[in-house]
């Protein structure tokens, strides 16, 4: 299958492929496979019918209010707490 892309995009793809020492075809194929893998791992977005939606909405609103009052925490700490809370490895 052949696809036509803009000269600018082709140049960018060619440069990235060359930087990794692979052909442009191999680079594009890898991008497609990574995208497919990402789609398989992604969860559908929450909506108001989901049981946890209200809890998340409240937490976000509290976080925004805290940030407005200068009560924020460093992002690294927040992400570490979220990883611990949800069992996500580093």
- Cα–Cα dist 71/74, whole Å: 10
Average pLDDT over residues 30-43: 84
Q: What is the pLDDT of residue 60?
A: 92
Two structure tokens written together for 20: 């990794």
Domain boundaries in the chain? Answer: 7-41, 53-86
CA atoms of 23 and 28, how far apart (whole Å):
9
What is the pTM (predicted TM-score) of this model? 0.46
* Per-residue pLDDT tens digits for 10-29: 999 999 999 999 999 999 99
pLDDT surpassing 90 at residue 9: yes
pLDDT tens digits, one per residue of 38-65: 877 777 778 888 888 999 999 999 989 9
């Amino acid at each position: 299958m052949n696809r036509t892309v803009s000269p600018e995009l082709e140049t960018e793809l060619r440069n990235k492929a060359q930087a990794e020492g692979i052909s442009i075809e191999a680079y594009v194929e890898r991008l497609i496979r990574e995208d497919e893998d990402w789609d398989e791992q992604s969860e559908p977005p929450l909506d108001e019918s989901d049981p946890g939606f209200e809890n998340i909405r409240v937490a976000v609103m509290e976080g925004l209010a805290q940030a407005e009052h200068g009560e924020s925490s460093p992002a690294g700490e927040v992400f570490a707490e979220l990883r611990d809370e949800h069992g996500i490895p580093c």
